[in-house]
A and B are shown apart, each in its own frame.
Chain A
Amino acid sequence: MKLLTLNFLTCAIKTCKTSEASFPLHPRDAELEIVETDLNLPFLKNILPRLMWEEIRTIASELGLPDLPTTAPTREDLVENNAEVQASLQNQTAESAEPAVEEIPSQTAKDLHRILLETCIKDGKLVCGNCAHEYKVMEGVANFLLPGHLV
């Protein structure tokens, strides 16, 4: 399960959802794997405003991954600041939305892609910070089914 998913997950128990402590879920005993995928720069740029950066930093640190910058990258940070690209961007007319030259992902973009889309929890648990309920992750799939008494 990609780490990006954790940005959109919380505890399945209804009464937890109103508590801030239920987001994000905390990985525990996690076995990570890297599943390589093609970097999609427009996708990364578009998804950027949806990221709960502080929470993603917390998750990364709980997983023992390298520290993420304190502030979220901007769209501009994701593009290589290449002279040729810059020149071509300046030459564009206002109505052309797409750059004439293909943008090159920066190291920041590559790092973000690595952590959000390629770093996956293969096995382990996700724990609610409010009720301490543990959800298992097996073979890369997190299971949120609740035992009968919690439904």
Chain B
Amino acid sequence: MATTTYDANGEEQQRIYEQTHVHAVYEQIASHFSSTRYKPWPIVEKFLQSQKDGSIGADIGCGNGKYLAVNPRVFIVGSDRSTNLAQIAKQHNNPHTAIVADTLALPHPASVFDFAISIAVVHHLSTPARRVEAVGAILGLLRPSSERDGDSGGRALIYVWALEQKDSRRGWDEGHEQDVMVPWVLKEKREKAKKGRRKEEGVGEEEEAKPKEDKTFLRYYHLYRKGELEGDIAEAGGEVVESGYEKDNWWAIAVRKR
């Protein structure tokens, strides 16, 4: 396990930190990352399938858009911080849409979405305040509940990586450091260059100089301990409807507090 080098000085620094240790990495590994992410997780799939036909949803940090493919009877705007990933997500555009946006500056009107998902995203924010802000931004998209109409309001499903995963290949567990750098190894295998993708050129040059070497990128993660996600949701003004643990991740379904 690598140790972190971050220094919690100020918002601007954290933004730059995440730009370097999260966003820039995904931008460069987008195509390889995407090829390893195709199977929807069952709880997420069930959540998406349970939405009423014609519902409006947001997928915050949609990555390659694998969850856009699940339910064609709802309309989802998927957003990702990585332009390269959003371009890949665009392929699932029937009937959905992919855009490039930052979770902390979402281009959506407040309170109009019936549901939102944010899968493996919030753990990439590097301070407690920024994680709570992200959860708040996701909850803010949701329709509030209305007692008069008997409407329970929009729901958000949030997934984060768990600290407690001693049986995983990473082997982290309770008591370990929660802020970690996790390697992504980009295999030295010439990927087919896609038209107009800047990152391919950069990687390509590197590969030509050192033909047989894999390239390792480090991504920042905050590993959530038990109960922490629920805490962030409460602090962000939400109410947990259901929560649990699934395959090395903590998840929660939340609504906006009345």
Contacts and interface: CB of A to CB of B under 8 A. Distances in A.
Contacts of B87: 139, 141
Given A11-B107, A40-B72, A50 B56 contact: yes
B179 to A, nearest CB: 22
B86 A141 contact: yes
B81 A145 contact: yes
B108 A10 contact: yes
Contacts of A129: none
Given A43-B53, A141-B87, A142-B99, A35 B110 contact: no
Contacts of B12: 148
A90 B94 CA distance: 33
Contacts of A2: 93, 95, 97
Nearest to B57: A8
Contact of B105 (A1, A13, A45): A13
A43 B96 CA distance: 12
B150 interface: no
A40 B100 contact: no
A4 B93 CA distance: 12
A143 B90 CA distance: 13
Given A12-B102, A50-B54, A135-B107, A40 B95 contact: yes
A9 B107 contact: yes
Nearest to B105: A12
B42 interface: no
A139 B196 contact: yes
A115 to B, nearest CB: 13
A144 B60 CA distance: 13
Given A2-B93, A4-B97, A146 B73 contact: no
B258 to A, nearest CB: 22
21 contacts: A2-B95, A5-B97, A5-B99, A8-B112, A9-B107, A9-B109, A12-B106, A12-B107, A13-B105, A23-B109, A35-B93, A43-B53, A43-B73, A43-B95, A46-B73, A50-B112, A117-B95, A139-B87, A141-B100, A144-B102, A145-B100
